[in-house]
Structure 1
């Protein structure tokens, strides 16, 4: 029993138990609708009262309570109308009134409060009018009908309720009575009584009104019923209530053996189906399948093959139709051969396919739906080379960065054990790179950030020959660029000047940086450097002037061992000291002497203790050439007071090289002095023009990536470099980088470490995000992607909601596919193995004009069906069997029934008289014009005559039979 029928039954039983016997179903439903409306309306009132009592009243709660109360009131009023003795037309009017009333409630709720009582559009009148029309319609039916008709004035007293039947009053000697009673399940059934029960209903009724309706239908048609006497099996041909024609095959006892498998629009079509069964059914064989077999079906002048197992379960089917059955058979054999050798291809996300083109090999990436995502740009001479190339790349996809063409970017990448970086502008040109490989990624990242921070504000400084650079010992201010500012900001928030300097406010007590100087040539060779820091740039510049003066007057002193020096101190007194070959003071006079001679005599006393020490008399500044502990040579500049003024920043392998370095100082002694407290771009010429990016400490962290033909070209391009460096995002680049590119349509390409294209997308996408999703599919799944090639064919596993497979060739043409999808991959894998085992050994099933087929249902019970030469079902058995053997035995009986069956066309209500199932007696059925059994004899009669007399009695007396109800 369906849930809907159960609810219907329970409502009637509750009404009968607590209220009384209903006159109609409208009484029951009206009562329950009234109760429902009452409870809903009460809930609405309760919401309104509780909200105000709790000081939570709001327009929202008022609106909710009004909707609930209005809806409940309308439903309750409609229930009252249903309980009144009204005609069908009045109920229809009430339904219209209910719809209008509910619409008015919704309209008023939507308008309240912003369009109510003088607010907004003020829809007060409209809302009340709509609701009033609906309620008025309901009320009109509810109030006027009792006044005009009286409570039951429009009905005739029900027969059987206040009068006794004629047979009980003596008015007739013979009669019939309908006894209506409840069955074991509480439903209503009835019997026709003629001193004894002559007939009974076949179907039960849920309610008394429905039982009465069924009885009235039998009474109205039973008198005109004809007689059909079944002495053998028969085909019942009838028109269903929906206007279609059907037939059933019944035994001589009236039990149905089989039914047609389809409905027919025309009577002639149904008769043709019966004729086919009569002609072909008695001789039809039962289909036998061992293991599996190929069957062939013609549809729309095309032939298709299908692989089925021994239980007639479809395993595989052809993808395309063929012009003849012979060609379909060839296709089936080809499928079996190729399926047995085919590899199972399970692409979860992405796979790499090796394919041949123009006598060369390449590879492409495909997704799980076999759509090509990207195609390699390079071709290989052999398949193994293509395989090695893609296998080397697949593990790298997982860490691939995703960049966007047209956006500047810093790319950090590794070569061997060392790191590099490069700057790519919006035109995808490499415009800058690091000059030397770096040991650590963090160092490459630091230099990239320094370049980003300083490039936009760095001055362009060209060194013609050589220059003195005064620079802070701590490396200078770390400048950061904000593209919304005209000038860069410093890390400490001080205002920056146009040349990169810092405006120092008065009273600034912060610790001042120390300053150094160096003399550099145009190729950044440091010729000389300060040996001690200075307090400010001015002091460092003064030191440079001193070096110029001292160096221009200095003599050259060369010594390899310790030496005594006699020198005049700043106070005018004379002193001596002993220095080693590195210039370190080993001993000092400790006292001052008034004359040089006194100092020399004192020194000579000590010299007796160091006889190998040379004697140096310093009257002016001097250059000293010396050798260090590593046997490397250098120079230093000592002023007339013996103080180290400048020194060689580098060492040299020979004395001559050190002297040449000293000569370069003298050559560039008068170079310009420049303060360098921020990074600079330094243009220089090496056949063509180049630039280098130099930090204040002299470190070169970036150089150009390509030469410029002229200085103007370099100056023009530097602006683009600045913009690119300041706005570039930073990416760590591996062996593979995915780059998105496009405008209206988007694509992607895969680049190697050198920015050469590895592969390009095979399709375009609507926007950047869709392209990124395609790339993410590759990066997420490439590491586990299978590498495959289609030699002949592959079995491709596919999944949407369910799982299926398709056998495809190298051109992606489908050869065959699974007949039915399965729920899981495990089930699909099992199905593939089953087909692999069965297909090569599958035989051929030739359907005759008609054949019986044994089929198992969902309950594992078997039944038969008759199919034509195209495999279409013509008839289906109505009885089921526990085993296929029992179903096969039943087919033998069915053949005989079909051969002996007559054709009965049912076009009116008829009595069927036939032998009982066990041939022990006779019984009858009352069949309506649609082939439905309306009533049946309540007992089996001993002989045909008794059954016929009982049937005739029912036919004569039932039309005037009385209806009684007993619980």
Structure 2
């Protein structure tokens, strides 16, 4: 029974239970339309009242409630019309009125409130008129027209007086009566009574009107029915209502044993099918399956195979149809051959497949549904090379960082044993990177922090040739005491570790007083080469600048002095007195006169007394400032500037391998002696030009913590792009990346890609996700289970395990085409694997079911009951049983009787309504049936008659009396 039929039956049952017996179908439909319309209208009124009571009234509420209430009223009135005794033309007129009223409702919904009651075009009168006309037609057709015209019968049925049947009033001595009653299932049936019940219906009617229609049909055809006497089984040939010929096989008692499967275009084709059954059926064997076998079925001109075991349980099937049975057989053999050696592919979360591409081997990631979620961008020469690449990637994925494209990002990465960083902007460009590698991760992270904190406020300073930089020597933001730090040479290591730096860079001494930062100066070139530097700190920036002026003054007048050993110096002190001292080749004072002398000669005589103890020491007389070239203990050369008082005022910050190199460094200082002086409180961006323009980020200490990641064609272009660099530096997220990084990218749809350490794409996703969170969840699943991901290659085929409302398997080739799959889902994975092994064992041994010219096959239906069917040599079903059996054994026993029936059956062509006279099932009496021209049994005798003559007389009584029989209904 269809779903619509069930609803139809339930409506009638409810009406009969709560209202009463309906006179016709329209009574039931009218009642339920009335109830539906009432509920819709009530809902509209309720919504309006509640909306205004809750102080939420609005035009939208009025429009919704108005449309609902008006539509409900229209449906309600139309339901009342159907419940009245109205003729067909009245119902048609009311239906027309219903359509007009609903048009008015739609009209109202379209114009309210903008064109209603003085607003806009004001369609209120027209809307009300249309709706009123529709309602008027619905009500007026049945209520007003009969009154006005006086013609009751125009739309309303005339109800005549009922007459009792003559057999009940005594006006007739004999007659027949149709007694309509409910059976145990609550359905309507009927009996024909002639002093007793003579006949019974074989079909059930859901409603009283349907029962009445069936009776009227029998009454109209029974008088013309012929007589057929069946003494043996018979094939009934008949033409159905669609003009197709069919046949059924019936026993001599009229019960149907089997029927044809196909429809035939002509009577001759149907007779040919019956002839095949009579010729081959009695001797047809029953197909037996040993272990497993492949069967083949045809559906809609497509052939399919199925693997079944000896209990007829389906183990595997083919979802792809084939043009012929031969091709289906080839597909089944291919399935068996491939399944035997196929690997079971059990991907719990993620797996990696190696496959051969256009020019080499590649790999792709699949999820637990075997859907490809990412593919590699590169191909490899061999499968082993691709496998090695995957084996390197999977462990790295476990700890891989997940970044988001379009977000500024710092990437800290290791190159060999050294660490570096790079800054990626929103456009995925490398806009900054570390200037050189560091030994430790913490030092690189500290550089990132320094760049991030200071980039936004850093000035842009360009150095033309060279500049003096005055800078604070003790800046708490510059220094840390980690072993990997390279501390500036101007700060003593021991003092640095013992001192505490205040928040503004001042040094807190042991007495607890903040003494303020020390200031130094350096002379740097455009390339950040420090060619001169102060030899001692200064109390403030102004003092440091004064020291620079002094160096300029002294250096411009200084002579060049060279010595390789210790030397005596005679010099005039600031007080005008003369003194001497002994200095080593590094400029350190070894001895001093300790007293002042009034003349150079007096100082020289005192000095000569000591010179006898150091005969190799040179004798230097200092009258003005001087540059000294010297060799240190490592045989490296350098220079220093000594003023006229013998005081060291500047020195070479570096050493050189030769005297000439030291002399060139000194000359370089003299060349840039008059450079500008700049106080460097904060970090700076320093632009400089090579072939293109670049920048470096310099801290006050002189340390370069970042350089640009790309060149710029002009200085203006560099300055313009620096604004974006500042923003990216300040807002960038920090990630420590390894060999592999996973990056999410997209806007509306999100995807992911795998990047290597050089930001080259390793693999890209093949699917997209609706949100970043969904994409991140997939990526996290991959990273969490990467180390457990199986690596496989489909050389021929694999068995894929799937869980989608139940565990199932499918055999797929390397192109993911399904070769075969399981039929019924398993309870769990272990049960599914057990089924796979069963198929692996049986499929190679399963043969084709060999069909003889005709073969019987026992199959189960959806209710697990057994039927037989007859197959021809091509495996096509010719006939199927109409009866079902509890077990296969009972079915086999029934087949023996079917063979005998087929052999003895006659052929009857049914072309009109006929009475059939049969021997009873137990051969102890006679029964009759009334069969229509389509082979359908319309009525049957209510009892078994002792003799053929008694059955025939009863049948003739029904034939004579039934056409005039009266219909009565009883519960």
TM category, shorter: 0.7 to 0.9
The residue that corresponds to 1:880 in the other structure is: 884
User: Is 1:906 equivalent to 2:915 in the alignment?
Assistant: no
Q: How does 1:231-310 map to 2 (within 5 A)?
A: 231-264=231-264, 266-295=266-295, 307-310=307-310
Structure 2 contact 532–650 (Cα < 8 Å) conserved: no
Matched residue SS, 1:223? helix
After superposition, the C-alpha distances for 1:417-467 in whole angstroms (9 at most, x for unaligned) are 432134689999978643321245464355457668759986564564x54
Structure 1 contact 311–855 (Cα < 8 Å) conserved: no
Rate the CA distance shift 1:617–1:939 in 2: closer, same or farther, 3 A: same
Partner Cα separation in structure 2 for residue 80 and residue 195 of structure 1: 42
The residue that corresponds to 2:529 in the other structure is: 524
Partner Cα separation in structure 2 for residue 13 and residue 717 of structure 1: 86
Partner Cα separation in structure 1 for residue 669 and residue 13 of structure 2: 123
Structure 1 contact 527–664 (Cα < 8 Å) conserved: no
Rate the CA distance shift 1:75–1:573 in 2: closer, same or farther, 3 A: farther
The residue that corresponds to 1:131 in the other structure is: 131
Matched residue SS, 1:190? strand
The residue that corresponds to 1:78 in the other structure is: 78
Structure 2 contact 362–376 (Cα < 8 Å) conserved: yes
Give the Å deviation of 1:772: 8.6
Matched residue SS, 2:173? coil
Matched residue SS, 1:914? strand
In the alignment, structure 2 segments of 5+ residues that lack a partner are: 479-514, 607-612
Partner Cα separation in structure 1 for residue 460 and residue 170 of structure 2: 132
Partner Cα separation in structure 2 for residue 155 and residue 357 of structure 1: 81
Matched residue SS, 1:414? strand
Rate the CA distance shift 1:250–1:474 in 2: closer, same or farther, 3 A: farther
Partner Cα separation in structure 2 for residue 154 and residue 666 of structure 1: 124
User: Is 1:681 equivalent to 2:680 in the alignment?
Assistant: no
After superposition, the C-alpha distances for 1:314-364 in whole angstroms (9 at most, x for unaligned) are 624496969995x87676555433322222234567644445689x96332
After superposition, the C-alpha distances for 1:618-664 in whole angstroms (9 at most, x for unaligned) are 998899999999999999878788987556667x7999999989967
Q: How does 1:607-622 map to 2 (within 5 A)?
A: none
Partner Cα separation in structure 1 for residue 298 and residue 81 of structure 2: 61
Partner Cα separation in structure 2 for residue 344 and residue 718 of structure 1: 59
Q: How does 1:52-131 map to 2 (within 5 A)?
A: 57-131=57-131
Matched residue SS, 1:253? coil
Matched residue SS, 1:940? coil
The residue that corresponds to 1:925 in the other structure is: 929
Rate the CA distance shift 1:960–1:390 in 2: closer, same or farther, 3 A: same
After superposition, the C-alpha distances for 1:748-798 in whole angstroms (9 at most, x for unaligned) are 98653245665689x899999999999969778755443223444433457
Partner Cα separation in structure 1 for residue 554 and residue 407 of structure 2: 54
Give the Å deviation of 1:617: 12
In the alignment, structure 1 segments of 5+ residues that lack a partner are: 479-510, 605-610
Partner Cα separation in structure 2 for residue 436 and residue 965 of structure 1: 105
Rate the CA distance shift 1:117–1:204 in 2: closer, same or farther, 3 A: same
Rate the CA distance shift 1:641–1:120 in 2: closer, same or farther, 3 A: farther
Structure 2 contact 560–627 (Cα < 8 Å) conserved: yes
Partner Cα separation in structure 2 for residue 206 and residue 406 of structure 1: 69
The residue that corresponds to 1:362 in the other structure is: 361
Partner Cα separation in structure 1 for residue 219 and residue 955 of structure 2: 14
* Candidates 529, 540, 547, aligned match of 1:543: 547
The residue that corresponds to 1:915 in the other structure is: 919
Q: How does 1:377-776 map to 2 (within 5 A)?
A: 377=378, 379-380=380-381, 383-397=383-397, 411-422=411-422, 433-441=433-441, 443-444=443-444, 447=447, 454=455, 459=460, 461=462, 464=465, 467-473=467-473, 515-520=519-524, 522=527, 524-525=529-530, 527-529=532-534, 531-536=536-541, 538-550=542-554, 670-675=673-678, 677=680, 678-681=683-686, 683=688, 693-703=697-707, 722=722, 725=725, 733-736=737-740, 752-754=756-758, 758=762
Rate the CA distance shift 1:309–1:749 in 2: closer, same or farther, 3 A: same
Matched residue SS, 2:127? helix
Structure 2 contact 419–440 (Cα < 8 Å) conserved: yes
Rate the CA distance shift 1:188–1:655 in 2: closer, same or farther, 3 A: closer
Give the Å deviation of 1:244: 3.9
Structure 1 contact 420–437 (Cα < 8 Å) conserved: yes
Rate the CA distance shift 1:130–1:476 in 2: closer, same or farther, 3 A: farther
Could you state the TM-score of these two structures normalised by the residue count of structure 2?
A: 0.76
The residue that corresponds to 2:963 in the other structure is: 959
User: Is 1:817 equivalent to 2:820 in the alignment?
Assistant: yes
After superposition, the C-alpha distances for 1:273-315 in whole angstroms (9 at most, x for unaligned) are 3333222222221111111124567999998765433244262
Partner Cα separation in structure 1 for residue 835 and residue 695 of structure 2: 68
Structure 2 contact 456–727 (Cα < 8 Å) conserved: no
Partner Cα separation in structure 2 for residue 760 and residue 781 of structure 1: 18
Structure 1 contact 190–200 (Cα < 8 Å) conserved: yes
Partner Cα separation in structure 2 for residue 14 and residue 317 of structure 1: 46
Partner Cα separation in structure 2 for residue 321 and residue 41 of structure 1: 57
Partner Cα separation in structure 2 for residue 828 and residue 921 of structure 1: 57
Partner Cα separation in structure 1 for residue 156 and residue 697 of structure 2: 108
Matched residue SS, 1:271? helix
After superposition, the C-alpha distances for 1:531-576 in whole angstroms (9 at most, x for unaligned) are 224544x543222112334565699899999x99999789x99999
Structure 2 contact 432–706 (Cα < 8 Å) conserved: yes
Matched residue SS, 1:138? helix
Q: Give me the CA root mean square deviation.
A: 5.8
Matched residue SS, 2:534? strand
Partner Cα separation in structure 2 for residue 46 and residue 691 of structure 1: 75
After superposition, the C-alpha distances for 1:919-965 in whole angstroms (9 at most, x for unaligned) are 22221222222322222211111222211111111111111122233
Structure 1 contact 638–644 (Cα < 8 Å) conserved: yes
Partner Cα separation in structure 1 for residue 157 and residue 844 of structure 2: 79
Q: Paired residues, what number?
A: 904
Rate the CA distance shift 1:576–1:242 in 2: closer, same or farther, 3 A: farther
Rate the CA distance shift 1:841–1:212 in 2: closer, same or farther, 3 A: closer
Give the Å deviation of 1:691: 7.0
Structure 2 contact 469–678 (Cα < 8 Å) conserved: yes
Give the Å deviation of 1:874: 2.0
Structure 2 contact 531–668 (Cα < 8 Å) conserved: no
Partner Cα separation in structure 1 for residue 959 and residue 857 of structure 2: 43
User: Is 1:896 equivalent to 2:897 in the alignment?
Assistant: no
Once the two structures are overlaid, the 10-residue window that deviates more, 211-220 or 797-806, is 797-806
Partner Cα separation in structure 2 for residue 568 and residue 92 of structure 1: 133
Partner Cα separation in structure 2 for residue 654 and residue 66 of structure 1: 102
Partner Cα separation in structure 2 for residue 203 and residue 320 of structure 1: 39
Once the two structures are overlaid, the 10-residue window that deviates more, 29-38 or 833-842, is 29-38
Structure 1 contact 366–372 (Cα < 8 Å) conserved: yes
After superposition, the C-alpha distances for 1:379-418 in whole angstroms (9 at most, x for unaligned) are 34x6544422221123334666788999998654212443
Partner Cα separation in structure 2 for residue 222 and residue 330 of structure 1: 56
Once the two structures are overlaid, the 10-residue window that deviates more, 659-668 or 307-316, is 659-668
Structure 1 contact 915–923 (Cα < 8 Å) conserved: yes
Partner Cα separation in structure 2 for residue 703 and residue 10 of structure 1: 83
Rate the CA distance shift 1:819–1:240 in 2: closer, same or farther, 3 A: farther
Matched residue SS, 1:858? coil
Partner Cα separation in structure 2 for residue 718 and residue 62 of structure 1: 64
Give the Å deviation of 1:806: 5.3
Rate the CA distance shift 1:132–1:765 in 2: closer, same or farther, 3 A: same
